[in-house]
Amino acid sequence: MTERSSTTYVRMIDVRILHHYWLDEGATEFGVIADGDLARRRLLTYDVRRFLDITPSAATADIVAGLGGVFRATGLGFVVGVPDHVVVPLDAVFEFHLIATAHDYASYTSLSLRRREIVDVVDPADGAIRRYKSNVPVLSNETGASRGAGADRHPFLSTEYVSGASNGDAVEALVTVGANVRQLTSDPPGATLRTLGARTELPVYLHQGDVPEITPPAGSVGAPARGIELTPDIPPTVDAIVRIVPRHDSDHLFSIANPDGTVRNPPRTFELHLRNRWTTRRYRNRSDGTVSSTNADPTPLTFFGNAGAMRPPTPQSLDVERDTNNPPRITRLISDVYV
């Protein structure tokens, strides 16, 4: 008789990456779509793999393999499964790299106007060259924010928003003003802001505060103010990093393991929400390109809904309008619609 053995796997890491360009119904945020069947169908047709490549770092792949686990990118994000008897090293760090692959990803994703430049910096102490990439966000269960209360409290990988806009923010920055989340639709000074909704009713979107400050070597010059250091394990094409540790020091909601290293059951699902941008629609004559009309206010750029009497703009139609200041500031983002 053939001997048979089996292993039961549990989800150790479960991350959902939800892009609101593909999920929102026009100005209606996905999480508050009243039609439950529509919301479920929206998730069934959603696939993050159409615009993002998600891979574990080499060190993380080694740790997962050592635990007898598996990594899988899914339509909603990614998961890491391990045998249910595994004990996770509490000093482990699981790192995952996100790289945009869709040619039009930057056209419909908020914050993508921020340039990501790679800079080499010489360390005066030893002459070593350190490489940095600006404006790369790092999302972590060590620094994430939550929404809800009690059993309904839910963890997000983005940090909490700052309160109020400052001159250090730029177009598409997210801030809280009173009880609301607001987004800059132009550059400061005198930036215009759009209210997205009540802070307690919205997810925590990826925002400018998710980009960490860089501490370059003492005495060095040229390093960007915010971003990451590109170590040999990080591809230079990286657009965002997700880091998960087994235990949160003070908030068990963000832990994936118990104090003894066993995996939490049921597993914790973390979410990362990507904002679609707001643009002002400008209508042009198809025959000669002249402007026939321009909307007074910006509207969210979404794949579903929001067409109104006119057909919706395509992401590729984005235009950036600037003033004549030196340096110029972005006054608004335009979506051209040819009719």
Give the amino acid at 49.
R
Kindly give the pairing relationship between strand 330-338 and strand 318-322: antiparallel
- Among 208, 193, 104, 202, smallest CA distance to 162 is for 208
Q: Are residues 208 and 71 in the same domain?
A: yes
Q: Are residues 35 and 95 in the same domain?
A: yes
pLDDT (0 to 100) of residue 265 = 86
Residue 208 backbone phi and psi in degrees, to 5:
-60, -25
Q: Which domain holds residue 184?
A: 161-200
Is 221 part of any domain? yes
Q: Are residues 182 and 230 in the same domain?
A: no
- Among 277, 303, 335, smallest CA distance to 114 is for 277
The string over 50-64, giving b where at least 16 C-beta atoms fall within 10 Å of a residue's C-beta and e elsewhere, is ebbbbbbbeebeebb
With beta carbons less than 8 A apart as the criterion, state whether 239 and 99 touch. yes
Is 4 part of any domain? no
Q: Are residues 298 and 177 in the same domain?
A: no
Rounded CA separation 130/136 (Å) = 16
* Category of 111 on φ-ψ map: left (φ > 0), alpha (ψ -120 to 50) or beta: left
Is 232 part of any domain? yes
Is 1 part of any domain? no
Q: Are residues 292 and 324 in the same domain?
A: yes
Q: Are residues 34 and 102 in the same domain?
A: yes
Name the DSSP letter for residue 46.
-
Strand order in the sheet with 70-73: 70-73, 77-83, 9-19, 269-274
Q: Provide the number of structural domains found in the chain.
A: 3
**pTM as predicted:** 0.93
Which residue, of 274, 291, 322, is where some domain finishes? Answer: 274
Tracing tokens 């945009």 back to the chain, one arrives at 100
Q: What is the mean pLDDT of each run of 10 residues along the chain (339 residues)?
A: 69 97 90 85 94 98 97 97 95 97 93 91 94 97 94 94 78 92 91 91 95 95 95 96 96 95 92 94 90 89 75 82 90 90
Q: Are residues 224 and 143 in the same domain?
A: yes
Is 246 part of any domain? yes
Cα–Cα–Cα angle for 81, 86, 90, rounded to 5 degrees: 95
Q: Are residues 134 and 47 in the same domain?
A: yes
Is 252 part of any domain? yes
Q: Are residues 135 and 239 in the same domain?
A: yes
pLDDT (0 to 100) of residue 4 = 61
Q: Token digits for 16?
A: 């959902």
Q: Are residues 79 and 185 in the same domain?
A: no
Which residue, of 169, 200, 231, is where some domain finishes? Answer: 200
Taking the alpha carbons at both ends of the chain, their separation in whole angstroms is: 73
The string over 212-230, giving b where at least 16 C-beta atoms fall within 10 Å of a residue's C-beta and e elsewhere, is bebebeeeeeebbebbbbb
Q: Are residues 244 and 268 in the same domain?
A: yes
Is 3 part of any domain? no
DSSP run (H or E) holding 77: strand 77-83
Name the DSSP letter for residue 264.
P
pLDDT (0 to 100) of residue 222 = 94
Q: Are residues 59 and 141 in the same domain?
A: yes
Which residue, of 254, 274, 294, is where some domain finishes? Answer: 274
Is 22 part of any domain? yes
Strand order in the sheet with 180-184: 162-163, 174-177, 180-184, 193-198
With beta carbons less than 8 A apart as the criterion, state whether 6 and 85 touch. no
